[in-house]
């Protein structure tokens, strides 16, 4: 090629190269593929795997007598039904719920309403094993029951620190909703210390929006690491299904109740032998409305009309907090009461007694 022609083509070639470079710069960059992750996606599988072997499905049955048809009132037909009561027939009622293994010796916690009146209680474990459970004892005042099964190599649930649970913490509800089998739902702690619902005498519920449905009762409410913080007990609903308001008994209260039932046959609660009512809405303090003769309060010199403001220097609120404080105090311990009588503030130490067992309703 002549040198003159070569010099004429160089500007053209340079222009083409520059144009191609500009076009390349305008193309969107394609990201390089990310290296495969060696860890699992974020979730709560490890918490479920840790807790689920300790959560059981409970199936109960009981035989009830139901009325027969009025046709059996016919004297001729009655002649053929001389054995038993011809006006009644037997029917087997079945129900379901959940429970939590809390000891490698086979002790389980569940709700009393799950197994109340049952003639037989069948427990089904996650690994497929099953066992007939024995009722050790129950506490109607907290709706708790203690069962025992005899199986080897049980895996009890790990225990969390219930007092440190805060509103907003992630929680997981594990149980047997509608008898579908073991399931888990996820939510947060919506509130603590819920009471005044009329469900039990000692109400101090953890509220959660984790889905709790019929069959979940008696199951586990666990933290994000699979540690027990509550026993799922009830839902607030008008439809019968979950509405985002579930209630669980705090694990520390449930375990304390279980220990007493195993050791003494019933819960052992502190008692002062008095009745109180709130001073006024939204104000701290309760006024003594009744005193049991011979009880700790009477022996200490408290009187009707005294206004209690604090127990062990902790405000009593509207009385609920104070009642729980005394109930959780072991009998024989001493508590300090700040109260007012005729406008004069005083402090008094009282030895806590044993709360009498509730009187069973007569049939």
Report, as residue numbers or ranges, the catalytic residues: 113, 143, 217
Contacts of 232 (CB under 8 A, 6+ apart): 98, 173, 175, 212, 216, 217, 218, 219, 220, 221, 246, 247, 248
d(CA 160, CA 288): 37
Token code pair at residue 270: 């502190």
- Residue 351, strand partner residues: 334
| Contact (Cβ atoms closer than 8 angstroms) between residue 235 and residue 243 | yes
d(CA 176, CA 98): 6
Task: Give residue 117's region: left, alpha or beta (phi > 0; psi -120 to 50).
Answer: left
d(CA 261, CA 253): 12
Token code pair at residue 119: 């003639």
């Amino acid at each position: 090629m002549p040198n003159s022609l070569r010099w004429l083509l160089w500007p053209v070639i340079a222009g083409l190269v520059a144009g191609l470079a500009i076009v390349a710069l305008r193309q969107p960059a394609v990201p390089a593929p990310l290296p495969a992750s060696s860890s699992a996606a974020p979730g709560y599988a490890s918490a479920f795997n840790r807790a689920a072997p300790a959560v059981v499905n409970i199936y109960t049955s009981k035989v009830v007598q139901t009325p027969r048809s009025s046709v059996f009132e016919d004297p001729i037909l009655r002649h053929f039904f001389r054995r038993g009561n011809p006006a009644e027939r037997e029917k087997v009622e079945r129900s379901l719920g959940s429970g939590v293994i809390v000891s490698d010796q086979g002790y389980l916690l569940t709700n009393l309403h799950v197994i109340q009146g049952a003639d037989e209680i069948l427990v089904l474990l996650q690994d497929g094993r099953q066992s007939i459970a024995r009722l050790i004892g129950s506490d109607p005042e907290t709706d708790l029951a203690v069962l025992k099964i005899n199986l080897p190599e049980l895996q009890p649930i790990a225990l969390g620190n219930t007092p440190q649970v805060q509103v907003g913490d992630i929680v997981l509800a594990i149980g047997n909703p509608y008898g579908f089998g073991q399931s888990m739902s996820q939510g947060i702690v919506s509130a603590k210390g819920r009471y005044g619902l009329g469900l039990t005498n000692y109400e101090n519920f953890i509220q959660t929006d984790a889905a709790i449905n019929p069959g979940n009762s008696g199951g586990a409410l666990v933290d994000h690491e699979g540690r027990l913080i509550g026993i799922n007990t009830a839902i607030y609903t008008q439809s019968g299904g979950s509405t985002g308001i579930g209630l669980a008994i705090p694990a520390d209260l449930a375990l304390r109740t279980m220990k007493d039932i195993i050791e003494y046959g019933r819960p052992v609660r502190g008692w002062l032998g008095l009745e109180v009512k709130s001073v006024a809405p939204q104000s701290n303090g309760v006024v003594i409305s009744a005193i049991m003769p011979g009880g700790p309060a009477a022996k200490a010199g408290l009187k009707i009309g005294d206004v209690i403001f604090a127990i062990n220097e902790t405000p009593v609120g509207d009385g609920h907090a104070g009642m729980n404080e005394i109930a959780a105090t072991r009998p024989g311990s001493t508590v300090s009461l700040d109260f007012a009588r005729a406008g004069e503030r005083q402090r008094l130490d009282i030895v806590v007694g044993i709360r009498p067992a509730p009187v069973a309703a007569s049939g």
